[in-house]
Structure 1
Amino acid sequence: MPRIALRPLSLVAVLFLMAAIVGAQAPVPTNEDQEIAKTVVDLLERGHMARPVIDDEIAVKWCDNFLKDLDPQKYYFLKSDIEEFKKSAKDLDDQVREGNIDFARKVFERFLQRQDERYKTVTELLAKPLDFSADEYLTDDPEKIDYAKDTTEADERWRKKLKFEELQLRLDDSTTPEDVVKKLTIRYRDRNRLFHQFDSNELLEVYLSSLTRTFDPHSSYLSAKNLEDMLNQQLHLSLEGIGASLRSEDGYAVVAEVVPGMAADKDGRLQPDDKIVAIRRDDNSEIDLVEKKLSDVVRHIRGPRGTSVHLIVQPAGTKERKEYTIVREKVELTEQHAKGKILDSKVDGKAVKIGVINLPAFYGDTMAILRGDPNAVSATGDCRRILGEFKQSGVDAVIVDLRDNGGGLLEEAKTLSGLFIDSGPVVQIKEAVGVKHLDDDDEGTAWDGPLAVIINKSSASASEIFAGVIRDYGRGLIIGDSSTFGKGTVQSIVNLGDQARRRDRGVAKNRGALKLTIQQFFRANGDSTQINGVAPHIHLPSIRDYMDLGEGKMDNALKFDKVAPLPHDSYNRTPDDLVAALDARSVARRKDDAKFQKQEERIQKYVDRKAKHSIPLSEAKFKAEFIPDDDEKAADEKENKDKKAKKKYVEREVWVSDYYNDEILRIIGDYLTLGSKVLAAAPVRAAATN
């Protein structure tokens, strides 16, 4: 399986898309679930880079994680539930070694019971008007409150929660009180239904991932279904189906978007907001899809290319049923591919061209690349092609936009770095047996000219490797938030089916996989990207700088560390005096820019609001604190207008002209002028160790 530098997203978040019908009956673990649990424990202790021992201390942390994953805001469990469960905490390590996962079922069964009780409370509260004149507050930090001591306290907590959610929806002046109640009724009915659709595989995924995350935030167990989805969609950027994305709404699978050029779009009948209510089998029987989990609906619709799926559809705004037969084909998720755009700008009255590459992920089909397939999906291949087009068009500078790029394949980070440096070390990797390094051995570059890399707090993992190379080699400017995310670890996907086949000498069966942290990244200069991330040369302040984003905000994150630096080239494109001059000019411009001044006010408002940890629930105070200013209203109105006007899939924009991006272009303009002598002398390289 491929070695992966995955996005910093916890798989247990899948739980909070779930919710119920009737009866608090938790899924029963199977014999296979028990075997999987034992295998995961064995692999964790043998394969995790920390070489952990799962003992009583870990078991207590595991119990805490599991309870927190099920009820992170402390709205469901009672204090007596938590006290009862924690009495068994120190037994979990011994139980799991025997394949005993009854604790997960017991806890989840109680959770479903509390969920049903709270759902009853919600329906009763929504059936009568709430008082929005009372001067009361909701605590928004679960760390500052305990679990409710009884149902009376729990119901009171939900009354305040619903008031807050109603006030949020009331901020939209076009929404009536009746609309608000209807939206919340549907929201909680969907949530209640989906919780009760949770199956044993999903419960096992949450339970075992609660264990793996006692060692670091990125190790997790992936169920068989999620393993398949992750490999096909997130990394290979392709799957086989009809080319439509779905959302769940009031028990229905509703078409969210139709991908242009794919099967459903070519057919032309399926439209956004249509409901897919059933599938007709070839024997004319039907599979009812109403009130089914969205993931199951998607799997019924997917299938091998060239085969047909017979959809029973309720077109938007109608009650009629129509049948659409659509031939499945390979769906390329091209919206996640690198995209390029050339911007026409001016520097000191002179026209310049700036090429922008927007890269949302470090994707690639590893096996196809190794086979030498010229059509293999590859972030590096796409960026090489775009850079070739930029050179033909005579661009003066290139921007690589890594904002919100959560990472992907380590190999792609290495080869993409090689497009901008001649050769040398890209990343150092520390594992149990020592430190090794991955180098760009492909001499030459695809772009030698001026370069800027744009980052934010959500640029993670492979993005940080690439940004670290550009910074350490002095190859280009880094511009953006105060740092990248700070995820400096490598995960390996260990297929549990392969483990069982080797042990039992049988046929491999998909039993999911363990995403296991096995290595840690270090830059060529010896610094880890862990926790600290990569800092920019030019910092443009944003609200993200003050949000609880980043590796350092995650539980059990590995610590920052250093190793010995490696000799590497220095391109001398970002000398300290030039960076200082560029920064000074940017600061001066931002001080005189009304939009940046307004941004500073919004940042301060956010910081002040965050420090309070309480939300006013009187309508007057809530609106005074949260009502958006004119700029925010205009942005919201434009977004709402775009949503209403959207009839089909809308392509991702490569570059949006706004005050923030305009300042980036001005910084690059200064870079081309103030740094003209530095850039003209390039490429000047000298061995450096930083």
Structure 2
Amino acid sequence: MIRSSLKRFRALLLVGLVGLGLATALSLPPLVAPSHAQQAPLAQPDPAADAARFDTAIAQLVMLILEKGHLSKPKINEELSREWFDNYFKQFDPQKMFFLKDDLVGFEKERDRLAVLAQGGDLSFSRRVFDTYLKRHDERLAVILDLIARGTYDFTAEETMETDPEAYDWALDVEHLNERWRKRIKYDLLQAKIDGDDLEKAKEKLTIRYRDRNRFVRQMDKMDVLEVYLSAMTSVVDPHSTYLGPRAFDDMINQDIRLQLEGIGARLRSENGYAVVEEVVPGGAADKDGRLHAEDKIVGVELEDGTIVDFVEMRLSDVVRYIRGPRGTKVKLLVIPVDSKERVTYEITREKIDFRDQRAKSQILDLKDRDNNPVKVGVIKVPSFYGDTEALLNGDPNATSVTFDVRAILRDFRSRGVHIVLMDLRGNGGGLLTEAESLSGLFIDKGPVVQVKNALGVTPREDTEPGVAWNGPLALLISKTSASASEIFAGVIQDYERGLILGDSSTFGKGTVQTIIDIKNYLRDRNVPNLGALKLTIQQFYRANGASTQIKGVEPDVVLPSLLDQLDIGEGKLQHALPFDKVQALPHDRFGKTSPELITQLNTLSKQRRDANDEFKKLNERIRKYLDQKNSKTVSLNETIYRERYLSEDELEETAEERARKRREKKEQGVVWDSNYYNDEVINVVLDYLKLGGVQVAAPLRAAVR
């Protein structure tokens, strides 16, 4: 999670890290020679040498900042090198489907020396491993395409495929690896068959899929390899610290956090060597123009001087960079429409793109309460804790902010007589800490929102703005994929007894704070290209009650059964996650809107309904089947057995394509709250809560530390 804007963070970082002894350590040789009385003759520019020096500087700075600035103060030594070594191979080949055992043995002599080599500027190991991977990838592609084209598969045979790479070793030889791929392709074809594809269509799809994967690997450049290599090292320290290359750095700041870019407003995917339009963003430049549609191929652009840039076989990130540009400028797209084979030219004026489908949305449900009286439930879907911090710091009233958006929704709810607010945080992976704080302040008067621990101690962060935007009943819906800022917000609502929380057995459990460090800011010469950034874990979250959200997350008051709960999702499932701990609790208000007795009653009523509901019975059966498959660490390649063991009735009744079509339709229709058995039970719990305990918000009581 980004703690603040880069502008604000740079000032904080210089103070914080200088105090940690980092200032003098950053005296690396500049990339441009300093001015001296006696200078050597100027050498001619050497782009390759400059690039190598940049790579060396990046690696050295990443390791230095990691050691000095990370919350846990790791030592980059032989022990870390050994884990780095293993992790780098896993980054490329997590399923052990490309490298051979001998490949790893051939690099074994460097297992303990990666840190020493990188600190000395030697990054050759990273490239040699990648070159080996690329070679193996090309070899496997030839085998894969042959298996798809000429392989014969008997789906009545008693055969299984291993699914847990931790349970098996790297392949000893090519024959062993080919056999793994034979089973993998058979599994892919079985999946396609069950999803309703005929054999020829399935083979065509698989051929495109594996060619695209190989194309992606072949398009990786030196910076991509460096990004994977350094991230393999940082993730040994904790799973959220990572090196972001220049492209990833730029995308994260603009799209993931600010939710805005400048361009035409179209999402693209790479398919069979083409840039294909995945979606035209509603309200964007392309949408207003009206000519570009989903599934169109963008095959090139015409530059201002008339030069044609061909996109075929170009990496997608580079295609995007040609299409993006400052608002008000024009781009000439060369397009092959989905219903044509002729190439046409569309000139579109770029605009600011607001990803409105990733912003908070609302819907009012007109229902009946337990006494058959009209009741309005106001649902707010919050997909992330987004915000443009620079615009907010500058006082821009139109700045992108989840708090601004939710405040406006609550204002509308009040004017329309909503009785209870249900905030849907399922799938909300977090965002800005400042937004978690300000959003919490919409529902509590004043008090601690979160405690933040860094190398210097624990600091409370408080909502200091008096008043609330909503003082009525409140419920939060969470899932195992609600993380980070979502957990801070949910923790506040629970600690203050401000509302009811329901959903999966816990949230994700990500209780750490990451910040973004612009690498080039630590070079003497700032006149260098974008060198990427280090996303670094510098702090840990604690609730007002003193408990960390790390590992354990936030446990709801009412737990509903979920397949997500059985998946390997959550901080505790990640390697090298920092441990759970506690700090001193802080005094805070308690609104008394939940109690053990009320929660017990709500759970009892919900269980009675679920036990009598056929859909929940099917869900429990799906969970049982999944756990059987998970525990076996293999999957059957026999079609009859596969259908019986692993597929639910819903999956047997409709194809994956039909399910995907329904999801697309809901998205296009802007559906915020869908009626299904799970959501209907959520509403039942909310109505029970409204009747039994949530009708009126009591005046808060000041709770003592205990």
Given that 2:618 and 2:649 are in contact with CA atoms closer than 8 Å, whether structure 1 keeps it comes out as no
Alignment of 1:227-306 (within 5 A): 227-306=249-328
Residue number in structure 2 paired with 1:544: 564
Residue number in structure 2 paired with 1:114: 136
Given that 1:239 and 1:331 are in contact with CA atoms closer than 8 Å, whether structure 2 keeps it comes out as yes
CA deviation after TM superposition for structure 1 residue 508, in Å: 5.5
Given that 2:195 and 2:657 are in contact with CA atoms closer than 8 Å, whether structure 1 keeps it comes out as no
Rounded Cα–Cα distance in structure 1 between residues aligned with 2:531 and 2:700: 53
Residue number in structure 1 paired with 2:32: none
Helix, strand or coil: the match of 1:560?
coil
Residue number in structure 1 paired with 2:26: none
CA deviation after TM superposition for structure 1 residue 5, in Å: 12
Counterpart among 354, 366, 375 of residue 332 in structure 1: 354
CA deviation after TM superposition for structure 1 residue 316, in Å: 0.7
Q: CA 1:673/1:482 → structure 2, altered by over 3 Å: closer, same or farther?
A: same
CA deviation after TM superposition for structure 1 residue 639, in Å: 2.7
Counterpart among 84, 91, 108 of residue 86 in structure 1: 108
Residue number in structure 1 paired with 2:424: 401
Residue number in structure 1 paired with 2:74: 52
Alignment of 1:525-540 (within 5 A): 525-540=545-560
Given that 1:455 and 1:480 are in contact with CA atoms closer than 8 Å, whether structure 2 keeps it comes out as yes
Residue number in structure 1 paired with 2:219: 197
Given that 1:596 and 1:659 are in contact with CA atoms closer than 8 Å, whether structure 2 keeps it comes out as yes
Rounded Cα–Cα distance in structure 2 between residues aligned with 1:645 and 1:363: 25
Helix, strand or coil: the match of 2:546?
coil
Given that 1:171 and 1:627 are in contact with CA atoms closer than 8 Å, whether structure 2 keeps it comes out as no
Rounded Cα–Cα distance in structure 1 between residues aligned with 2:487 and 2:5: 11
Q: CA 1:565/1:149 → structure 2, altered by over 3 Å: closer, same or farther?
A: same
Given that 2:547 and 2:583 are in contact with CA atoms closer than 8 Å, whether structure 1 keeps it comes out as yes
Residue number in structure 1 paired with 2:689: 671
Question: What is the aligned-residue identity percentage?
Answer: 50
Residue number in structure 2 paired with 1:22: none
CA deviation after TM superposition for structure 1 residue 135, in Å: 1.8
CA deviation after TM superposition for structure 1 residue 122, in Å: 0.8
Given that 2:440 and 2:489 are in contact with CA atoms closer than 8 Å, whether structure 1 keeps it comes out as yes
Counterpart among 312, 321, 331 of residue 309 in structure 1: 331
1:616 aligns with 2:636: yes
Equivalent AA in structure 1 for residue 228 of structure 2: V
1:489 aligns with 2:508: no
Given that 2:227 and 2:245 are in contact with CA atoms closer than 8 Å, whether structure 1 keeps it comes out as yes
1:438-466 superposed Cα distances (whole Å, 9 cap, x missing partner): 00000110011110010000000000000
Bigger drift between 53-62 and 187-196 goes to: 187-196
CA deviation after TM superposition for structure 1 residue 686, in Å: 2.6
CA deviation after TM superposition for structure 1 residue 596, in Å: 1.1
Residue number in structure 2 paired with 1:655: 673
Given that 1:5 and 1:462 are in contact with CA atoms closer than 8 Å, whether structure 2 keeps it comes out as no
Equivalent AA in structure 1 for residue 98 of structure 2: Y
Counterpart among 77, 99, 102 of residue 124 in structure 2: 102
Counterpart among 442, 445, 449 of residue 465 in structure 2: 442
Given that 1:345 and 1:352 are in contact with CA atoms closer than 8 Å, whether structure 2 keeps it comes out as yes
Rounded Cα–Cα distance in structure 1 between residues aligned with 2:400 and 2:660: 34
1:454 aligns with 2:477: yes
Helix, strand or coil: the match of 2:150?
coil
Counterpart among 538, 544, 548 of residue 518 in structure 1: 538
Given that 2:544 and 2:588 are in contact with CA atoms closer than 8 Å, whether structure 1 keeps it comes out as yes
Helix, strand or coil: the match of 2:239?
coil
1:625 aligns with 2:658: no
Alignment of 1:117-136 (within 5 A): 117-132=139-154, 133-136=156-159
1:60-79 superposed Cα distances (whole Å, 9 cap, x missing partner): 00011101101100000001
Rounded Cα–Cα distance in structure 1 between residues aligned with 2:5 and 2:638: 46
Equivalent AA in structure 2 for residue 550 of structure 1: G
Given that 1:29 and 1:105 are in contact with CA atoms closer than 8 Å, whether structure 2 keeps it comes out as no
1:213 aligns with 2:231: no
Rounded Cα–Cα distance in structure 1 between residues aligned with 2:72 and 2:578: 9
Rounded Cα–Cα distance in structure 1 between residues aligned with 2:383 and 2:664: 25
Bigger drift between 629-638 and 288-297 goes to: 629-638
Rounded Cα–Cα distance in structure 1 between residues aligned with 2:665 and 2:557: 40
CA deviation after TM superposition for structure 1 residue 247, in Å: 1.0
Given that 2:56 and 2:123 are in contact with CA atoms closer than 8 Å, whether structure 1 keeps it comes out as yes
Rounded Cα–Cα distance in structure 2 between residues aligned with 1:39 and 1:675: 55
Given that 1:2 and 1:493 are in contact with CA atoms closer than 8 Å, whether structure 2 keeps it comes out as yes
1:349 aligns with 2:372: yes
CA deviation after TM superposition for structure 1 residue 653, in Å: 2.3
Q: CA 1:488/1:630 → structure 2, altered by over 3 Å: closer, same or farther?
A: closer
Rounded Cα–Cα distance in structure 2 between residues aligned with 1:169 and 1:188: 15
Bigger drift between 636-645 and 407-416 goes to: 636-645
Aligned residues: 662
Rounded Cα–Cα distance in structure 1 between residues aligned with 2:51 and 2:188: 36
Equivalent AA in structure 1 for residue 550 of structure 2: Q
Q: For structure 1, list consecutive stretches of 5 or more residues without a partner in the other structure.
A: 7-26
Given that 1:247 and 1:253 are in contact with CA atoms closer than 8 Å, whether structure 2 keeps it comes out as yes
Q: CA 1:660/1:224 → structure 2, altered by over 3 Å: closer, same or farther?
A: same
Equivalent AA in structure 2 for residue 595 of structure 1: E
Residue number in structure 1 paired with 2:588: 568
CA deviation after TM superposition for structure 1 residue 671, in Å: 1.1
Q: CA RMSD in A?
A: 1.9
Q: For structure 2, list consecutive stretches of 5 or more residues without a partner in the other structure.
A: 7-48
Rounded Cα–Cα distance in structure 2 between residues aligned with 1:324 and 1:625: 51
1:349-379 superposed Cα distances (whole Å, 9 cap, x missing partner): 1110011110000000111111111101100
Equivalent AA in structure 1 for residue 625 of structure 2: K
Residue number in structure 2 paired with 1:62: 84
Given that 2:629 and 2:646 are in contact with CA atoms closer than 8 Å, whether structure 1 keeps it comes out as no
Give TM-score scaled by structure 2 length: 0.91
Alignment of 1:113-192 (within 5 A): 113-132=135-154, 133-173=156-196, 175-192=197-214
Bigger drift between 132-141 and 111-120 goes to: 132-141
Given that 1:4 and 1:408 are in contact with CA atoms closer than 8 Å, whether structure 2 keeps it comes out as no
Rounded Cα–Cα distance in structure 1 between residues aligned with 2:670 and 2:625: 30
Given that 1:488 and 1:520 are in contact with CA atoms closer than 8 Å, whether structure 2 keeps it comes out as yes
Q: CA 1:688/1:634 → structure 2, altered by over 3 Å: closer, same or farther?
A: farther
Given that 1:356 and 1:400 are in contact with CA atoms closer than 8 Å, whether structure 2 keeps it comes out as yes
Equivalent AA in structure 1 for residue 705 of structure 2: T
Q: CA 1:358/1:331 → structure 2, altered by over 3 Å: closer, same or farther?
A: same
